[in-house]
A and B are shown apart, each in its own frame.
Chain A
Amino acid sequence: MVLTAIYAISFYLATLILIGGLAYKIIEYARTPAPLKVPTMPAPLTTGGVVVRMFEEVVFFKSLFRSHLKWTWLLGIMFHAALLVILLRHLRYFIEPVWWWVVLVQPFGKYGSFAMIVALLGLLGRRFLVERVNYISNPSDYLMLVLLLVIGASGTMTTFVAHTDIVQFKAFMLGVLYFDWQPLPADGPLLVHLAAVILLMVIFPFSKLLHAPGIFFSPSRNQVDNAREKRHLAPWALAKFETSRGTPPQPSV
């Protein structure tokens, strides 16, 4: 019961930190103005065009693809796609009855974990092997991949090696959701898996994982190219300069 309590409470705290931290960062990004028009050109001329540009970046990693680092792109796409499928698959632990399309996703998610592990190993490998990437890597960059690998490997083990009692685990998860705690199966891989996920949730808003919300706020990608047509002015610039238009220094010739 102690174990159940520790994990349940950790889940609550981690969720609070994740949501609170992300909300804080997103509000901070949204509130900070971009005082100048700085899209990387050529840029779309309309908001619709920006939506398309963003879609291409978020779904296909278009800029990364253009960088000729085809392996990085492939591993990156592979990791993120696998992660998406796996996350969808995990929905079944949080809902009852399970939606039909979540049932459909199950087999993909099951084997997707292998794709994720392979991609992560590839990404880790290039941090060691590619001189330039090695140079720019901090300890946290390796540890992030290791953490994800631990999550992937332990999760895979619960399915393929030390089969976890998922009926009992689902009861635990729903119990956490509805504040009606049920015992957590004390399986090694499952406990490691959950602990690593909780850790990931906690560090998310303090780490480079902020790239997920951050990309939508990147001025070089989300601005419309209409500087000549529409005057773009940040509130601070308006307040500082536009109330009394300063005159430039006079020439002294």
Chain B
Amino acid sequence: MAAKVEFQVPALRPYPYVPDLVPDSMKGKGPFVAKPDFQTPLGFPGPLVDNWQEVAIEKMGEMLKKYRSLRVYLDVCVRCGACTDKCHYFLGTRDPKNMPVARQDLLRQVYRRYFTLAGKFFPKLVGAKDLTKDVLDDWYNYFHQCSQCRRCSVFCPYGIDTADISMAAREIMDSIGLGQKYCNEIIGKVYKIGNNLGLPEPALRNTLEGLEEDIQTDIGVPVRFPIDEEGADILLVTPSADFFAEPHIDGLIGYAKVFHQAGMSWTLSSYASEAGNFGMFIGSYENMRQISLRIRKAALDLKVKRIVFGECGHAWRVAYSFLNTLAGPFDFLDPKYPVPQHICEVTLDLIKRGALKLDKTANDHRRITFHDSCNVARGSRMGDKPGGQFFIPREVIKASCNFFYDMPADTIHDQTFCCGGGGGLLTDDLIELRVKGALPRIEALKHVVDTHSVTNMASICAICKSQFTKVLPYYGFKMDMIVSVHQLVSTAIVL
């Protein structure tokens, strides 16, 4: 594991503010590089190939033909500056290369040099640069200081999405043998074992049995956690952190109680025991597809009628926006339900139909705020109306709790700040970045703590939950301040 990095935790400032620039404050070597062993299963070379420059340019050319987003985004930026103060990593680190447009420019300067007339003939004029080792080092460092949260794209007059640019850059780096250890090792675990954490099936079964026993002892109700049960109606795909991390597991208990009370038949799959899809973080259509196909296979093998996703932000983006593309068509499932569904959609629907008995006062010791996870907020939807991804989880919370307070308007909904650990950055070797990147969210949280005595922040993302558990203490908050939305349901539900 990484040695403890010495760094200064930023002081909370009156919100909002725009900091001055501190050039190169986050210059560095970036996160740990993937060893060749972690590259091969994903179809990437490793270590850095000899003619990396040539291969990278060729790859870039290929991607420009495959992704219109890349082509258009690299061409049309007018450098208006609207995005410059929108990135939580910039706000937290003040490194100008963490301004979204400057991050894009790391790729754009090379694009201009090799793929545009202006850059070929007047490189200085248009800021075009050769792909040198220095540029590659900057790529590796700063494209791993982007959590692909898309906040910048909300404010860009052309919708330029730095997340897409970062994904493309990581794909190019993977193709020359420069992969990130954290992401690529995890994807390897999914292929080999079935989930990001590498929990083998027996361990998984054990955990679930343990949960059943615990609940039986606690409340005397036989709530089940079925796994690999052929013929169940619902396949629940949830992030593997739900099986053992806190507060994730309390969310899992919440889903099980909801299914139990509603009398629904459901199952987990040991083969597709992971909702997360790190293929997106590395911008690899191929890997994202391979991981998605596991869910299709599990659904077919278990002969289910519906697919429901547990609380996980980027998993939900991939599920909602890409699953149909990558692993569809899902014509073998019950057409009455959208494919896939989010657990919050299922729960709210049950609440509205009166199928759940919730005692809100059970949560009266908590005063809740809700952290919109970036991938859910800006990369997906819930329900049948735009913005359902904001209202549905809030309605679930409000049905379970008496005290709910939103953080300031420009830090929630589609303007939400990333937790600071998304996009494949939830690794100890990036802890300084993670702490600093959490600053804007923590400042907004502090605001409702001060004004409404908020005690807990609820989230529907496994990465957010892990990240906050880790970084909240740096800012003087308790780590268990972060809770799962279905943990609140679990507390309120009367079985």
Contacts and interface: CB of A to CB of B under 8 A. Distances in A.
Interface stretch (B26-34, B77-85, B172-180): B77-85
A7 B326 CA distance: 55
Interface stretch (B157-165, B256-264, B460-468): B157-165
A233 interface: yes
A211 B78 contact: yes
B161 A40 contact: yes
B477 interface: no
B81 A225 contact: no
Interface in B436-459: none
Contact of B158 (A37, A42, A131, A214): A214
Contacts of B290: 246, 248-249
A206 B118 contact: yes
A220 B152 CA distance: 12
A5 interface: no
Contacts, number: 233
Contacts of B414: 40-42
Contacts of A13: none
A33 interface: yes
B86 A214 contact: no
A83 B353 CA distance: 56
User: Which has the most chain B C-beta neighbours within 10 Å: A231, A232, A234, A241?
Assistant: A231
B68 A64 contact: no
Contact of B293 (A25, A28, A220, A248): A248
A140 B127 contact: yes
A246 B191 CA distance: 14
B297 A248 contact: yes
Contacts of A64: 80, 82, 155-157
Contacts of B67: 32-35
Interface stretch (A65-73, A114-122, A163-171, A181-189): A65-73
B86 A138 contact: no
B329 interface: yes
Interface of A: 25, 28-29, 32-38, 40-45, 57, 61, 63-64, 66-69, 72, 76, 126, 130-133, 135-141, 143, 203, 206-208, 210-211, 214-215, 217-221, 225, 227-234, 236-237, 241, 245-249, 251-253
Given A63-B159, A66-B415, A130-B81, 7 more contacts: A33-B66, A69-B82, A211-B78, A215-B76, A218-B72, A227-B325, A253-B193
